Structure 1
Amino acid sequence: MKKINVALLCLLFTTSTIFAQKTFTLSSKDLGGQATKTEEFGGFGCTGKNQSPQLSWANAPEGTKSFAITMYDPDAPTGSGWWHWVVFDIPSSSNELVTNAGTLTLNLAPKGAIQSVTNYGVAGYGGPCPPENHGLHQYIITVYALKTDKLGLDSTANPATVGYYLWMNTIAKASIVTYYQREKK
């Protein structure tokens, strides 16, 4: 009986491994379950380093011609959330944004990638900065695999416009979620 159970377990494990599909996945070497002062915005009363996290993605679907990345806070008390980072026209040959790629002056983003205006009113990365005593906010970072190599937008495009073009051109997307709560003074 034990030999049959062991054989059955081996068969189930082998079968599930053979038929498991590799899915489009986003990960980060910098982020865990919570963002830190490293990612926190440096302004609006926040004193963080405003350093964008390293992001990498794998298993893009066939037909992917470019990628886009967004970072969104649905818990912001605005009625429409808050867009912290919008990057598009990332070449299909790329599979990573290095740490601090969201600081435009450093030129760390892949060649040709466009970082457009966030809800902070400027292009590039703007880290978490929830209101004091507002509790935990979730930050959804999403990579989009797109069926076009260029969205036809520039760095002045607002997040809603970019979102519309992403919606029209997305083949697949993958997300990670991190949380942040502003320290009470």
Structure 2
Amino acid sequence: MNQPNFANLRCPWGQTRDEIIQNFHDHEWGKMKLEDQYLFEMLVLQLFQSGLNWRVILHKRENFRKAFKDFDPVAVASITEREVNRLVGDASIIRNRRKIESAIQNAKAILMIQAKYGSFAKFLQEMVPMQIMHNPEIFEDVPTSSDVAKNVAQKMKEEKFVFVGPTIIYSYLQSIGLINDHIECCPFKYQG
């Protein structure tokens, strides 16, 4: 008797030979990881992903890590105008001044959040206290926003975050595991 090919049961975007995309799908997307540095990393990557796609961003992830000082919010918050100009010329990342400056502003906002709430994770969990598990049968049933994302986006804007609309935040919540939108037949819905 033939064993089913579980790789073909993954969410459609995870059914790829691209190991970077597949690893992200299998081991990060929808998996709760609430460490502030990782939360900031995902926020920066989501910000740069806007208007592009995950493949482009994930293939440049290590370059972003170098450019944004291992996603250390303290280090990123202190990036100077001279460093911004250098980043705008860095072909190994997305050379968008507005997005680069937004990442710096968001690092500053995270530092303010940490001072106010103790951690960025605690701030997020006040709005989303436990993982939201959706049960889509097909990937077309996965939403691109929700009332939760709108609420989180609004609260983040009030706390001086930028480039955090409801669609970006919905995708962000998926990437950090506060929302799990793996389709029901995906073998990675409940495992990492």
> What TM-score do the two structures reach when normalised by structure 1?
0.31
More helix by share: 2
> What TM-score do the two structures reach when normalised by structure 2?
0.30
Bigger RCO (CA 8 Å, 6+ sep): 2
More strand by share: 1
